[in-house]
Amino acid sequence: MTTIDELISGYTDEPGYFDFAKWGPISRPVVEEERALVDVQARARFGSEVALTEQAGRVRRAVSAVVGFPADQVVFQPDTSSGLVHTLFGLTGQVLMSPRDYPSGPVAATRAAAAMRVLEPVWMDLDHDVVTPAVVQRHLTDRVTAVAVSLVDYRTGYLVDLEGIRQVIGDRLLIVDAIQGFGVVDAPYGVADVIASGGQKWVRAGWGTGFLALSERASATLTPVFSGVAGTELRLGGSYHETLPTLPGAAAFQITNSDPIAQARFSTALEGIASVGVAAISREIADRASRLIDIADEFALPVVSPRDEAERAGIVVLEPSPEQMTTLTAALLNHGVTATVRDTTVRLSVHLSTDDDSFDLLRGALTSFGTTVYY
């Protein structure tokens, strides 16, 4: 069992980093695991291949421990988008989704609709720019076979009500792009049929890491369109001119053998999270996000992301007046505060390693901003 302080001690990012919603600096244990396996791969000592090949099973078990899906219903993916492409190209009927979600889902849906001609995206008209059970219910018809949502909206930081959405959609497939909450949101993943996520953000495992988890209903419903060598019941040395059967369950949704070192990085990060517990991590993230909101209020910067802990995760979005945007951006830059700036908003995101030094840098930036703003 790892304590939360021990988990925090493994992070080495420098103060001022408030951009975990973009990507999370990897931890020291992840770095050490990668170095160890790179050395194994470089030396190719007799029998060393076992240490590499065993990572596929390890990563399935690590994901299973966090999301609660059986390990045999989990398959490693190099990123969230790959998992969503597998899902939406394999879906038939109408899929209800938000046109404002991160483009991984909408792009996969429109590409699948154009190429396969068996899927039709249905776009929700949102209330207050967020997806709620009421919005979903208003758009449901008998032709809708699946609903796709983001666990946390990348623009607004809004945490979707998965249980409420499950209640209104009945036995339709519930597809969840979990990337902006996976690892820091204690979500009821058991109500979902498909979960896709990457490990480069809140899990802090680096790029090239992710997974796709399927319920039994999803496994029976989805067609593994992009099932390659690794997803096929294949015996090397034969003839391959005939259609080969796919592997059962989630294993069918893969193309080729994955990078074992990426799998090891992902496993190491997830094992640390599971040892502490997502619920404990979520409480710490909530406290830091609340502190961030308090500082924004102190400097009269409008917070346009949710304030209610039940509706937010680790993202806080500020929207200064248009004439203040350049000044605020410059103040953050000059004080070494890393954030995501888009059009009219500044997105700040916190993690366990967001400490007093980081908040001091942010306060210094906002103090500088405040002294140059005239009302």
Domain C-terminal end among 223, 247, 276: 276
Give the model's pLDDT for residue 239. Answer: 82
Q: Do 191 and 335 fall into the same domain?
A: no
Confidence of residue 238 (pLDDT cuts 50, 70, 90): confident
This prediction has a pTM of 0.95
Domain C-terminal end among 246, 276, 306: 276
**Could you give the number of structural domains in the chain?**
2
Residue 48 has pLDDT above 60, yes or no: yes
Are the C-beta atoms of 28 and 10 separated by less than 8 Å?
yes
Domain assignment of residue 109, given as a range:
28-276
Domain C-terminal end among 249, 276, 303: 276
Give the model's pLDDT for residue 96. Answer: 98
Q: Do 110 and 254 fall into the same domain?
A: yes
Q: Do 289 and 302 fall into the same domain?
A: yes
Give the model's pLDDT for residue 127. Answer: 85
Q: Do 9 and 56 fall into the same domain?
A: no
Q: Do 179 and 228 fall into the same domain?
A: yes
Give the model's pLDDT for residue 235. Answer: 79
Q: Do 228 and 88 fall into the same domain?
A: yes
Count other C-beta atoms under 10 Å from residue 143's C-beta: 10
Q: Do 348 and 211 fall into the same domain?
A: no
Q: What is the mean pLDDT of the chain?
A: 96
Encoded tokens for 93: 């009927």
pLDDT per residue as tens digits for the range 111-147: 999 999 999 999 999 988 899 999 999 999 999 999 9
Q: Do 264 and 292 fall into the same domain?
A: no
pLDDT per residue as tens digits for the range 280-296: 999 999 999 999 999 99
Give the model's pLDDT for residue 282. Answer: 98
Confidence of residue 198 (pLDDT cuts 50, 70, 90): very high
Q: Do 285 and 328 fall into the same domain?
A: yes
Q: Average pLDDT in the 75-91 region?
A: 98
Residue 243 has pLDDT above 90, yes or no: no
Are the C-beta atoms of 212 and 253 separated by less than 8 Å?
yes
pLDDT per residue as tens digits for the range 299-351: 999 999 999 999 999 999 999 999 999 999 999 999 999 999 999 999 999 99
Q: Do 120 and 208 fall into the same domain?
A: yes
Q: Do 298 and 251 fall into the same domain?
A: no
Q: Do 184 and 228 fall into the same domain?
A: yes
pLDDT per residue as tens digits for the range 158-171: 999 999 999 999 99
Q: What is the CATH classification number for the domain harbouring 209?
A: 3.40.640.10
Residue 375 has pLDDT above 60, yes or no: no
Q: What is the CATH classification number for the domain harbouring 339?
A: 3.90.1150.10
Measure the CA–CA gap between 126 and 24, rounded to whole angstroms: 30
